[in-house]
Amino acid sequence: MSAADFEPLRCLGKGTFGTVHLVRQISTGRLFAQKQFKKATLIVHTSQIEQTKTERTILENINRHPFIVKLYYAFQDQAKLYLILEYAQGGELFTHMQLECFFVQDRAAFYMAELVLALEHLHKNLGVVYRDLKPENCLLDSEGHLLLTDFGLSKVALDGESCATVAGTVEYMAPEVVQGKKYGFAVDWWSLGALGFDLMTGNPPFRGNNKNIIMQNIVHGKLKLPYHLSSETKDLLTRLLRKEPKKRLGYGPRDIQTIKSHRFFKNIDWAALARREVSPPIVPFINDPELAENFSSEFTTLPLSPVVERGHWGSKEDLNPANVFNGFSFVASQSLLDGFNGHSRGGLRRDDDDEDADEESLVEKDDDGWGEVTGRGQRADSVASMISL
């Protein structure tokens, strides 16, 4: 498997450390998202080497989940690393939010519920702290179901509160992350609360003119809930956005069930949702999947980068890419490949005769210090794992 086996069609996203293309597999005609990283760039930013390996490993271990993007292939050439991922034709949840300003409760509850199932799988089955939950990292497939993407900041933390890096997107960071304290899975539940607040109000819960002010407000500011939110919405958000992690909903071993049984989710049939039997409230308009119509023209109009580039690696033998990226290659199980995109058929399409259808990324220190910190709406290295970097 190599880059030559895929025909690049459009750019879906671009970040500091890589690019995502929509590609067609030449042998099958199937569409994928190809996430590529320049080795020379990763080697300059050495902390990104392990993070990129971790992302690939996490995606492999997830294998298949209805609401997490799938990895089909991973390979490399002299200049780049490649991840071949599920193509989420519906684009970012962030884009759909912008079109509507904010979601009504039932619509928000649907996507928050699918996120609950994704986070439950990551935490309980894989020991993964996601660390960058935000609307830009939530994609929609052609039917409108959510796909969580971009594991570039994720970490395996099987022993509980073993993370310390200040990493993520400022507006959705938990207080303990901002303060540089040890933290664990509870940070993802804070981020779910912040994302839910954003979905139903049009803004994150704590804002400011710059990252420092936002961080101060996250740590010291009082949560202010708009009057139009229902009592059950206010209750859930208040419990998810508790500043003390041990008091936060999601921290305790039985809290997942408490979340699922919360009256905010009273209309959710969790078993049916897990089987993808609940109709999504958003059905993306898809005229032609190859046009990537649900992705920003900021990226889809960009010229495509060369398939192969030659890199210069300097004289450090220990940073020779032939050594650094050993074991990166991967091929998904035949059953996953055979079932390719089985749930991504459909979408709202227009018949041919239907005329009426209508602040920079911050990378400072390694673990135990500052990691990557971005702002809301920024496409640093988390635009999509289908689109995200």
Q: Alpha-carbon distance 214 to 170, whole Å?
A: 7
The confidence band for 160, taking pLDDT boundaries of 50, 70 and 90, is low
Q: Alpha-carbon distance 385 to 389, whole Å?
A: 6
Q: Tell me what the mean pLDDT of segment 81-99 comes to.
A: 95
Q: Alpha-carbon distance 305 to 115, whole Å?
A: 33
Tell me: the pLDDT tens digits for 280-300? 999 999 999 999 999 998 999
Q: Alpha-carbon distance 35 to 384, whole Å?
A: 9
Q: Alpha-carbon distance 74 to 83, whole Å?
A: 5
Choose the catalytic residue: 5, 77, 106, 132: 132
Please answer whether residues 142 and 289 qualify as being in contact, where contact means their C-beta atoms are separated by less than 8 angstroms.
Answer: yes
Looking at residue 354, its pLDDT comes to 38
Looking at residue 360, its pLDDT comes to 29
What H or E segment, with its residue span, contains residue 13?
A: strand 6-14
Looking at residue 340, its pLDDT comes to 67
Closest to 93 measured CA to CA, from 49, 136, 154? 136
Q: Which two tokens stand for residue 303?
A: 């010229």
**Distance, C-alpha 272 to centroid of its chain:** 23
- What's the one-letter identity of residue 77? D
Q: Alpha-carbon distance 260 to 108, whole Å?
A: 14
**Distance, C-alpha 365 to centroid of its chain:** 22
Q: Which two tokens stand for residue 185?
A: 């899975």
Q: Alpha-carbon distance 114 to 262, whole Å?
A: 15
The confidence band for 387, taking pLDDT boundaries of 50, 70 and 90, is very low
Q: Alpha-carbon distance 151 to 129, whole Å?
A: 10
Q: Alpha-carbon distance 288 to 368, whole Å?
A: 46
**How far apart, in Å, are the Cα atoms of 226 and each of 62, 93, 333?**
37, 22, 48
Radius of gyration of the chain (CA): 20
Q: Alpha-carbon distance 3 to 74, whole Å?
A: 10
Q: Alpha-carbon distance 341 to 103, whole Å?
A: 28
Using the Cα atoms of residue 39, residue 41, residue 43 and residue 49 in order, give the sign of their dihedral: negative
Overall residue count recorded for the chain in this entry: 389
Domains, the chain: 3-88+286-338 (3.30.200.20), 93-283 (1.10.510.10)
262 pLDDT exceeds 90?
A: yes
Q: Alpha-carbon distance 46 to 169, whole Å?
A: 21
Q: Which two tokens stand for residue 175?
A: 């207080």
The confidence band for 47, taking pLDDT boundaries of 50, 70 and 90, is confident
Tell me: the pLDDT tens digits for 117-154? 999 999 999 999 999 999 999 999 999 999 999 999 99
Q: Tell me what the mean pLDDT of segment 160-168 comes to.
A: 84
Q: Alpha-carbon distance 121 to 146, whole Å?
A: 14
132 carries an active-site annotation:
yes
**Which residues, 6+ apart, have CB-to-CB distance to 59 below 8 Å?**
69, 70, 71, 83, 85, 151, 385
Q: Tell me what the mean pLDDT of segment 243-255 comes to.
A: 95
Q: Alpha-carbon distance 310 to 305, whole Å?
A: 13
What secondary structure letter does DSSP report for 261?
A: T
